[in-house]
Structure 1
């Protein structure tokens, strides 16, 4: 008994794709084998069903010949036309360049969003660099006073002469010698010389001491601040600042040193130029800050003293 035919051989037999010898052998096997014959009948039924299903599509005639003829004619016309749009070699095409610029100026939604993002980045970068630009540091009050003092030339006499009093050196009498070799003392009188005018010293010290004295004058209201600071310092010393914690005490001393330094530097400038409103306001603010700091510490010291 021979082996039954598989589905691929049966399908090839139905499609007529088998060779002559293979087709004869398959036909003889189908005549002898009932199972293969039944499988062949089932395959023929399936093929008939599919043919009936696709019959409407197969009935439509596709004009393949006419379509191919039209395509060939269009290709022939394209080959026959000269290349008019070819750019000349070795030169610039102004039309193409203008077209490229025109395409850049055509704003689509995507291109508009891109331009907006790029513009925002440029603005943010400009703001960042303008903020980060270093500004010249202002001179401190001590530096300004030193510069002002250096620029003032010392006062000199108008005639340019030095403050030196010139005196004539006394002339010693010349002794005479007699024949025996003994010197004889002879009194001689010096002729009176014309008295030279004395040059008085220019008041340099008084001219330099005048601005210093003016600097020592307190500003309006400064004396009240100093009295309040003195009374608060006395209260703190009597109450004792040892009740403060080490961290609070260190912070209090550091803040007090900063305020004292600011007051000392600003007071020189404010007293030298009382019309400088900014310097005077800064000095009064520093006094007020120091009074508030001392008041806080004095209150804590008094509370601690009462609790003892």
Structure 2
């Protein structure tokens, strides 16, 4: 019989009140939309060099990004001889970041990529959030004991296994694997994934999302944010009425400022990562205690 993943981490996350709990998403508002931002910065990773470099970038208030809008990539950061792209989103974000003392540079250690929007019907939001929760638990199982992961990353370079973690669980075009299909079948995520509309599956990340009163929204856009394979991010924009270009632009500017960490300190990010690490340890230890994970085998596997 298929064994369903525990929902304990979701309960933990929902019970957390502080902003930086379990890499808890930021929730923002404009007149037209409610915005949820999951920042790559807030996730713990076994790649200690990357984690150190991004904190240094935060302390120096330097960030780089680009964004896809309706199939076209726009520069959020300047080149040597060119400024940011001439678009209301990139220009608005540049001004908002400058007002907060954050500089857009050609290539920062924190360089993220905002992908194009995928439309999600409000009625499907809870299914999407459940699939992400399962995905997060599978990520922990795939990585093994978080306490030994940094050493395994250093000595065996598993962090460079680009997209292998995502490929194991979420079979989007070009990423599906037989191992992934088996892992999904054994965990129960296949059933949850099947409830998510196919286009939205490519936007899934291993993260907890807050609940939404979906009856209050007309349309939801989801954008995946790529940084490193094990620390992606996400933008969810829930529109209260019909989506307009202006509403989207205002929401994206706020989301980019949040992603950049312009209103956050390096100490707050480090605290969020440590909270995330502690929960991963709890999830791993629970899996071992249940007999579903084998500590020694997991530590040697990578």
Please indicate the TM-score interval, normalised by the length of the shorter structure.
under 0.3
TM score, norm. by length of structure 2: 0.20
In our comparison, the structure showing a higher alpha carbon Rg is 1
Judging by fraction of residues, say which structure has more helix.
1
TM score, norm. by length of structure 1: 0.20
- Structure with more relative contact order (C-alpha pairs < 8 Å, separation 6 or more): 2
Judging by fraction of residues, say which structure has more strand.
2
